[in-house]
């Protein structure tokens, strides 16, 4: 819970006693531990400075417990006893409760215990009034009760009673916090009566000693000039519209009233206020930033927020255009900026169009010198300079066509070399093919032919009948080593059918008929007819060479 205490030091440093003003006690309870908060109740403490300026010794506290409030009241009583002041002002704000036996300002630690504990949890208003009544001339209670209805327990009613029953020389004004603050400040203007304040403000209810002709502070009251000067210094330090308005509200005819009005005119006509009055939307601010960027000024982003970057850009633009460098814009300046940006945008568009036309001409001219001829060096030279050029797609298509033609030519030469080797059908011829075409399409076939013509050492076989299809153990082992899958066996049978050999049902099963067809194919390819598939036959059947034999 926030608390603070104030005591006016003016009585110690001014050349006159506290009696020049009086004694004031200000208590505001806004935050309650067990009851609802009272919004704005602590605003009454704002009056402390004004009272001090008028020579009052001020004791004040915010959100005090019942014990702390009684301590502050005791301090006020001691000051009154010692100083015998002409005036006593007491300002109370928060939850009030009443019963036939009295009225209380409830402390911050109070609860809804009810009447039985009211004296222990609150400050009795009758006691406060008795202490205030010790003023030699005028005593005023300013009361700002909570508007909300708070349940305070058995025997207590929230708020103030219709009749407060206070001493005869005590005046009471009560109402909303804002009106209490305004009314108290008005009472500190020399020559102002409490009755006139009650009449002028219908939100305030006055009772008790409210004289019609006797001012609370008489005309020519000395601390008033000091308060005027102090208020003026505060306004100057703030240098804001609210500050000068507050001064004029307190001292409409003060010594510095004309200066305050001049200051208000200056603030209201300040560049930032003029721009603020335009109520620019976020998108309008972005448009201004885009215009500045178009004219070459760095706003550090186009986000609709006028930060240091945008303000600096505006200052630069104003300086170039011989305008007052304020970094804020007027409506006419916004229109001028937009017109200049539109002209510059048109210039930029024309420049970009001219540049594009020049680049296109250079592109076409280079194409005419290089790629238009259609040869590979020219096409590659064009793409190197203009990879995204006008003719880039055409150049790549033509290069693809050239590559395909070159591949076809290489394929034809490879095939022709293979046909020559096949026609010779010698180891030397096949070796010459492999040497001249190490990456050729028929290298595997040529090597197979060479291997077939090399002498093979066959281990002697004892007690074995001559080899026949399906009985050659070595051929069978070679086939098994290939690990032929079912799909591969199906492919072999289909190729046998295309060659004109009948393997029987094309089912991936190498039965006797299939073995016979395999042996026939081996003879067709000049391989040893074993009836078992080996690597050489498999290569001949599945390679492109198979197509050559069918031609």
* pLDDT value of position 466: 43
Q: Is the pLDDT of residue 6 over 70?
A: no
If phi > 0 it is left, if psi is from -120 to 50 it is alpha, else beta; for residue 304 that is: left
Tokens of 478: 């070679």
Report the alpha-carbon distance of residue 147 to residue 94 in Å, rounded.
9
- Max CA-CA distance within the chain? 156
Please name every residue paired with 28 in a beta bridge, in sequence order, or none if there are none.
62, 93
Three-state DSSP state, 426: coil
Closest Cα to residue 85, out of 95, 94, 76, 72? 76
Q: What is the mean pLDDT of the chain?
A: 86
Q: How far apart (Å, rounded) are the C-alpha atoms in residues 11 and 20?
A: 9
**pLDDT higher than threshold 90 for residue 25:** yes
**What single-letter DSSP state applies at residue 466?**
P
End-to-end CA distance of the chain: 106
Q: How far apart are CA 516 and CA 529, in angstroms?
A: 9
Q: What is the pLDDT of residues 87-140, one digit of tens each?
A: 999 999 999 999 999 999 999 999 888 899 989 999 999 999 999 988 888 899
What gap in Å lies between CA 462 and CA 464, rounded to an integer? 5
| 303: nearest Cα among 321, 288, 314 | 288
SS3 per-residue string spanning 373-407: HCCHHHHHHHHHHCCCCCCHHHHHHHHHHHHHHHH
Q: Is 89 helix (H, G, I), strand (E, B) or coil?
A: strand
Q: How far is CA 302 from CA 294, 336, 337, 340, 500, in A?
A: 11, 19, 16, 18, 80
* pLDDT score of 45: 93
Domain with CATH 3.40.50.1460 in the chain: 5-219
Contact status, residue 414 vs residue 441, Cβ threshold 8 Å: yes
User: Within 10 Å of residue 219's Cβ, how many Cβ atoms?
Assistant: 10
Asked if residues 454 and 460 have their Cβ atoms less than 8 Å apart, the reply is no
Euclidean distance between CA atoms 51 and 277, whole angstroms? 37
**What is the rounded radius of gyration, in angstroms, for the C-alpha atoms of the chain?**
55
Per-residue model confidence (pLDDT) at position 455: 52
CATH hierarchy code of domain 5-219: 3.40.50.1460
Helix axes 486-499, 535-542, angle to 10 degrees: 70
Q: How does pLDDT run across 153-192, given as a tens digit for each residue? A: 899 999 999 888 888 889 999 999 999 999 999 999 889 9
Question: Residue 527: what pLDDT?
Answer: 87
Q: What is the pTM of this model?
A: 0.42
Q: State residue 40's pLDDT score.
A: 87
- In this model, does residue 549 exceed pLDDT 80? no
Reported as half-sphere exposure (CB side, CA atoms, 13 A), residue 342 has a value of: 6
pLDDT band at residue 14, thresholds of 50, 70 and 90? very low
Residue 330 CB neighbours (<10 A): 16
Q: What percent of the chain has pLDDT over 70?
A: 90
pLDDT (0 to 100) of residue 223: 63
Decide which of 253 and 533 is more confident: 533
Nearest to 54 by CA among 196, 204, 186, 214: 186
């Amino acid at each position: 819970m926030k608390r603070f205490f104030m005591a006016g030091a003016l009585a110690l440093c001014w050349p006159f006693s506290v009696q020049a003003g009086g004694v004031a006690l200000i208590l505001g309870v806004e935050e309650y531990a067990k009851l609802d908060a009272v919004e704005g109740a602590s605003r009454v403490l704002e009056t402390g400075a004004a009272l001090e300026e008028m020579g009052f010794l001020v004791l004040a506290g915010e959100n005090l417990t019942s014990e702390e409030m009684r301590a502050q009241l005791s301090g006020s009583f001691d000051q009154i006893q010692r100083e015998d002041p002409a005036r006593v002002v007491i300002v109370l704000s928060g939850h009030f409760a009443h019963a036939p036996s009295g009225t209380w300002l409830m402390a911050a630690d109070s609860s809804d215990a009810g009447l039985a504990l009211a004296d222990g949890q609150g400050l009795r208003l009758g006691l406060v009034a008795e202490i205030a009544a010790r003023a030699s001339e005028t005593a005023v209670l300013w009361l700002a009760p909570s508007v909300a209805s708070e349940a305070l327990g058995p025997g207590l009613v929230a708020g103030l009673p219709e009749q407060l029953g206070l001493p005869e020389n005590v005046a009471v004004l009560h109402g909303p916090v804002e009106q209490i603050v305004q009314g108290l400040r008005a009472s500190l203007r020399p020559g102002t009566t409490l009755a006139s304040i009650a009449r002028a403000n219908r939100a305030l209810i006055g009772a008790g000693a409210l004289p019609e002709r006797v001012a609370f502070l008489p005309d020519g009251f000395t601390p008033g000039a000091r308060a005027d000067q102090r208020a003026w210094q505060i306004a100057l330090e703030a240098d804001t519209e609210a500050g000068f308005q507050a001064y004029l509200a307190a001292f409409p005819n003060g010594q510095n009233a004309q200066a305050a009005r001049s200051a208000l005119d200056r603030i209201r006509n300040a560049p930032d206020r003029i721009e603020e009055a335009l109520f620019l939307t976020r998108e309008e601010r972005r448009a201004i930033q885009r215009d500045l960027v178009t004219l070459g000024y760095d706003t550090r982003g186009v986000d609709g927020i006028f930060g240091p970057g945008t303000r600096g850009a505006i200052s630069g633009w104003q300086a170039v255009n011989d305008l007052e460098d304020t970094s804020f814009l007027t409506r006419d300046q916004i229109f001028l900026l937009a017109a200049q940006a539109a002209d510059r945008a048109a210039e930029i568009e024309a420049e970009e169009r001219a540049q594009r036309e020049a680049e296109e001409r250079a592109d076409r001219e280079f194409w005419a010198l290089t790629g238009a001829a259609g040869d590979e060096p020219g096409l590659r030279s064009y793409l190197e300079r203009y990879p995204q050029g006008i003719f880039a797609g055409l150049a790549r298509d033509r290069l693809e066509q050239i590559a395909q033609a070159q591949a076809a030519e290489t394929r034809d030469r490879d095939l022709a070399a293979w046909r020559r080797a096949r026609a010779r059908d010698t180891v030397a011829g096949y070796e010459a093919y492999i040497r001249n075409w190490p990456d050729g399409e028929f290298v595997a076939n040529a090597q197979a032919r060479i291997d077939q013509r090399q002498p093979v050492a066959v281990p002697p076989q004892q007690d074995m009948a001559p080899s026949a299809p399906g009985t050659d153990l070595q051929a069978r082992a070679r086939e098994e080593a290939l690990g032929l899958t079912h799909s591969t066996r199906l492919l072999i049978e289909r190729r046998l059918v295309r060659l004109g050999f009948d393997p029987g049902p094309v089912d991936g099963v190498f039965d006797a008929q299939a073995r016979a067809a395999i042996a026939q194919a081996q003879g067709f390819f000049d391989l040893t007819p074993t009836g078992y598939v080996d690597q050489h036959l498999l290569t001949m059947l599945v390679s492109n060479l198979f197509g050559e034999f069918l031609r």
